[in-house]
Structure 1
Amino acid sequence: MIKTKQTEQFEFFSKNDNGLLTFPKAIKSKSVNEKLIINILENSFFSKNHKNTSFVSTYLGGGFHSEVTGGEFQKIVFEDKTNKKLLSVVLKHSPSFGNEQKKLFKLLNSLGFVELVKILRKYPSNQVNRRELMFYRYLADEVCIKVPSFYFGAINPRTEETWLVLEDLLNWSKIKPGDKRWTSFRLKMVLMKMAKFHSVFWDKSLNLNQFDWIGRWWADRENDYMSKDVALFGLWACRRIYPDILTLNLYKKLSEVISHRELIGNIFLQQKQTLIHWDFNPNNILFNKLNTNEGNLALLDWQVVSIGIPHLDVAQLIVANMGIENEDDVVDLVKNYIFFLKKYIGETIDSKQFMKIFDLAILDHFFRVCAPVLINSNSESLAEWNNCLGWIRGRSLFWL
């Protein structure tokens, strides 16, 4: 069972205060746990006749997020007396920023990355827990892509500990990065959906600025995700661990790029902006098992949703799935995305310029994954890191 021992009061939110749940929007509680959540759901969906319903709770763990920061998932299924399923939800629990930081620092120290801990200590919370809750509350219905239905959420505004009660999509399927089922056809179907998603807020960043919780990563560069210090340390540590892959000559060139990283940020800010997921990788994509249409997908994990350039989402999807040996295949996929984006926004797009910014997006993504690959050097993480490096070696540094 997931538990919390925080003593501060939580604030509860349903989607747009739509009144579907039987708690006032200003309800306060000093703790959130399974019992409280079940009580809210029972009172909301099964009136007061709880005797006719029962529930089964299953702890699901939390994957990499759980290992590093303590995030956890739990499934609750409500049934009637005949064992007919009435409602199935997933609880997503994200711990307070302080607890996340403490657990991460302990892991980094145990791995010998003491200097990285010193760097990260100076950065405040990037408020990803609040961001995801508010995304589900305000924007989930606007993005033209399937996301889990949002029942309600709770957040401790001081510590940022967060609970989300979401639609259960565990009967949908996930395809791991690099799996052979990630065919060119499937990737193109996903890129079509991505283009539709990006078209909704295309060049309308002013409309999104009303939401102070949305990430603005390149506009606010001094945070743990984007800082030069983290990028330089990650690159240095990867060079030490993988000297045969990250050669000395390549390491020096990439270090020089980081020293001028602000120029790349300025180029990004000159492009038209939209709403981006910014973690658009296969582990956050689900396919409906009951529908053979390969484009029928759902997108999870909106903690880093941001105002940004679409190239970043395109790069994250492609580099996680493809070895970069065949450059023509990658270019073909990007052109496929451009075709659909042009169709949805009704504007012309300079394909050559788009590809150059795509090169920079992969370069930027490489710097972002250097530090995580130190923590979790599994085959997926290392393959993605290698794919980025392969593309950089073959293209980005050629003209940069």
Structure 2
Amino acid sequence: MIGLFILAVYVSVFVLSFLIVRFLVHRTVHDYTSLKTVTFGDESAVTSNRTASIVSVATIFLIWGSFTGSDWVPGFLHAPGPFVGDTSFTYTLETADGARDDATVHVRVFDFGETTENFDVDEGEGIAKNDAVAMSASRSTTILFDKNDEAKRNDGAHVVAIDGIEINDGGEVRTPAGRFALTDKGAISFAPPSGLQMEPIWLPPPEAVVGRVVEIANEGYRDSTLWKHLGYSLFRVIAGFFFGALLGIPLGYAMGLSDWFRGWFEPIVEFMRPVPPLALIPLVIIWFGIGETGKIILLFLASLWIMAISARAGVSGVNISKVHAAYSLGASKLQIMRHVIMPNSLPEIFTGARVAMGVCWGTVVAAELVAASEGAGMMIMVASKFQLTDIVLMGIILIGVIGFAIDILMRKAENLLVPWKGRS
């Protein structure tokens, strides 16, 4: 339910932001796109709206902060938090002979991260005695009400009502104090209102993640600094991608230009392309060991087939009229390769390179499972074993940021080296 509510909030902000920018913010842009007479359906006319990007990132941050009770988000934007403080409820005990008595259970709910401390209350008179229970927020607790009652469950005593509302064994009732249920053995299961905020062990607030970044950058993690971990991951990804492109691009060209090469290698490429890199980890360990070579080879295999297919698609997609024009002007095969096929296939190759780099970043976590002592993936996996969610999120965010930065650099390089992309 919380996930659906968060999705609804995100979609609502998206729609509202779109309408505001679309109808209330008027601005005139004079660029290449503004000079076009037809833009709908033209991919080259679609550029990233920076306002939308800023609002999107801000929305994600606000949702994250709101549903984690972050100090960086104004209090009025916080989602309802779990109940914290003192509450109580009354249960009605009925003995085997039909006698009834009421007792009050005083509950003290401690906030996330606080140590629960037991406390005492006056037990009162009668066969049912008052109880005191300490618990943590967003948790449920089982109350053995008869541990101090004169009438015991073993003697046939059982709870028949909570705050005046009748309840049966295995039944459930809700009151302003929370949710109550009777277990199969007649004990009371109690859960106070949990609100909509996430518990830090599941999703820590932004400041906790930033604090971890500063802490690990200064003190390190597992005997290595943060920059050393990221450096190892970056080196592995770039090395694996480089060797994948070094072999994959010539292979793709050969498959696009020669029917013999295509017939020979296409079964191999099409067979390996859908195989996820994770499935290759056992073979990589058996064949290449658990050293650095195995990790780079795994990333190499993750990028090889993508680069081969993108290069082949680039060659196959060259406008044949350009080839005919070059032949009519007396160009040789080498000149056609250099001046027609390679320039016109570069856009597809750059697109494949961006996809391959993203796959490599997605595979680096698995690659660093192979007995790695450094790397962002190693940090994530070790931290997950100890439920250090802030370190897990830190690693994921840093991998995403670095991957996004690399993608931006590759797009800049594409715009610089292939300015004719999207133009005939």
Same-fold status (TM-score > 0.5): no
TM-score scaled by structure 2? 0.20
Specify which structure has the higher proportion of helix: 2
Of structures 1 and 2, the larger Rg is shown by 2
TM, length-normalised to structure 1: 0.21
